[in-house]
Chains A and B, each alone.
Chain A
Amino acid sequence: MKPGSVAVVGAAETTKMGVIPDQSVIGLHADAALNAMADAGLKPSDIDGVATAGISPTELAWYLGIKPTYADGTSVGGCSFMLHVRHAAAAIAAGHAKTILVTHGESGKSRVGAGRFGAAPSSLAGQFEMPYGPVGPPSMFTVPVLRYLKTYGLGEEDLANVAVVQREWAAKNPRATFKDPITVDDVLNSRMIAWPFRILMCCLVTDGGGALILTSADRAKDFPTKPVYVLGTGESVETPLVSQMYDATSSTAFRISGRKAFEEAGIKHADVDHLMVYDAFAHLPLYGLEDLGFCKPGEAAAFIREGNTRPGGKLPLNTNGGGLSYMHSGMYGMYALQESVRQMRGIAPAQVPGAKISVCQGVGGMFGAAGTVIFGNERP
């Protein structure tokens, strides 16, 4: 894809966020989709491509009354939406569709119309991980981290500090679930979940959704909002088993996806004004900063400690407060994308002054997949 040839022209989250017992999963998808269409000044009949995860694109299209020429049901966990954006950009460039809707909705907290989480006993996870007692992501996604900490001489306080800094950003976001300041001691004294992870190092569990609408950059100028251009994208998948990561101290999928996106966008790290790294748990921003090449291996904790990612720092990171403080419905990638788009439009509650390039990194499964989207607000 030529950098900047496709743009986001509609972006919105669900009307409500947090605990939404009166809307089902499909209802949250539709609410976000209708909000994004309103943002772009479009009707369902104007959409000719659909992409979603969690539910099928068939359900989404039919529920909204869309008869598409393009459907993408890529479902690799929380970064699926980054992959949807990537595939949509390619599809628009190829002429498969002109106006593509990407949606997310999840009743993570209230579980209204939601499926069950679990692996069949004959699957790889069912045979080689589940028998040993994991209780969902908090005791699986976190398993490699002690090896990372030992390799680089880091400790629990380095994980805690990630949560502290993100809470500073959350305080500036009216829609963030948690806004009160916290200290490293608060984090280290919070309830134990899976040592060394305490509850304040783990993401929220909430309800919500979001949607994006993409079209060609040539058409984008005719829409009511400031176009946000897709400069470069990447994706990769690694393993369905966290115990089988190629390297416990680094996400191979992040490295492949990030490198591809930077190459495609033709930018350098110094060009990046704003960064989102999907933070299901406090170690994700550390891996993300290193695997995307913003820090050398083992140096991300010090980079955060020195204030580089906090408000006023040189690389504002997770400016909505992240999955740790803003919201996390289960597949958080959509909210990271929404915040990148807000920052590029210049309308984020914690706006980074003059930001022109935003990198948005997603993770899927437990280090199972990765997706990267680099946005810009100027067409190259």
Chain B
Amino acid sequence: MPRMLPEATPETRHFWDGCKEGELRLQRCTACSDSYFPPRPFCPKCGSRDVEAYKASGDAILWSYVINHRPRPDMGTEPYAIAVVKLAEGPTMMTNIVDCPQTPEALRLDMPLTVSFSKQSDDISLPLFAPAK
């Protein structure tokens, strides 16, 4: 069973195109300079439509997670961590942690992480995170 994949909308297309090209793209407000996620064509802090996409550092820390033990046929790798990372630029993002044992001992909160893109289809690469080298 193929993995459940996102379907981009016009408002999120730049993000998924970025992932395909190996770039984690955030948006920020040119008026109040707040960085935000998920994508939308206006600043959720001040309402301005003057926003720009930019290439984020890809650096993050492990913010929180669970290790899922229940079967999900399109994943098939249980147990695996479903994580929230806090990006260096501020926003949080749900993701998976790769290149790391999926155990409480190995997955330490606040550990530094780096983005790593996993190609799933011609259109979609998912932004996953690995322990920073």
Contact = CB atoms under 8 A, between A and B. Distances in A.
A194 B4 contact: no
Contact of A196 (B66, B80, B83): B66
B115 interface: no
B38 A143 contact: no
Interface residues of B, number: 36
Nearest to B71: A135
Contact of B68 (A121, A122, A194, A248): A194
A360 B79 CA distance: 36
A152 interface: no
A197 B63 contact: no
Max chain B C-beta neighbours (<10 A), residue from A129, A133, A145, A248: A133
Interface in B1-19: 3-9, 12, 16
Contact of B109 (A131, A142, A147, A242): A147
A136 B94 CA distance: 15
A355 interface: no
Given A121-B7, A132-B95, A127 B12 contact: yes
A120 B7 CA distance: 9
A132 B92 CA distance: 14
Contacts of A192: 69, 79
Contacts of B72: 133-135
A133 B75 contact: yes
A133 B82 contact: yes
B114 interface: no
B26 to A, nearest CB: 13
B51 interface: no
Contacts of B6: 121-122, 126-128, 130-131
A49 to B, nearest CB: 35
Contacts of A10: none
B93 interface: yes
Given A126-B6, A144-B64, A147-B109, A133 B96 contact: yes
Nearest to A246: B92
Max chain A C-beta neighbours (<10 A), residue from B8, B72, B80: B72
A241 B96 CA distance: 16
B84 interface: yes
B9 A133 contact: no
A128 B64 CA distance: 16
B88 interface: no
A146 interface: yes
A122 B9 contact: yes
A248 B84 CA distance: 10
A146 B64 contact: yes
A150 B37 CA distance: 24
Contact of B66 (A128, A130, A139): A139
A138 interface: yes
Contacts of B96: 132-133
A241 B38 contact: yes
Contacts of A135: 68, 70-72
A193 B69 contact: yes
Given A143-B66, A144-B84, A147-B63, A132 B8 contact: no
B67 interface: yes
Contacts of B38: 124, 127-128, 241, 244
Contacts of A63: none
Contacts of A196: 66, 104
A74 interface: no
A223 interface: no
Contacts of B92: 243-244, 248
A196 B70 CA distance: 13
Interface of A: 120-122, 124, 126-136, 138-140, 142-147, 150, 192-197, 241-244, 248
14 contacts: A122-B7, A126-B7, A128-B6, A128-B38, A128-B94, A132-B82, A134-B68, A139-B70, A143-B83, A143-B84, A144-B64, A193-B69, A241-B94, A243-B84
- Closest CB pairs A-B (n = 10): A127-B6, A243-B94, A195-B67, A147-B64, A194-B66, A122-B7, A121-B7, A139-B68, A135-B70, A133-B75
Given A127-B38, A192-B79, 13 more contacts: A126-B4, A126-B6, A127-B16, A133-B68, A136-B70, A139-B82, A145-B66, A192-B69, A195-B69, A195-B104, A241-B38, A243-B84, A244-B37
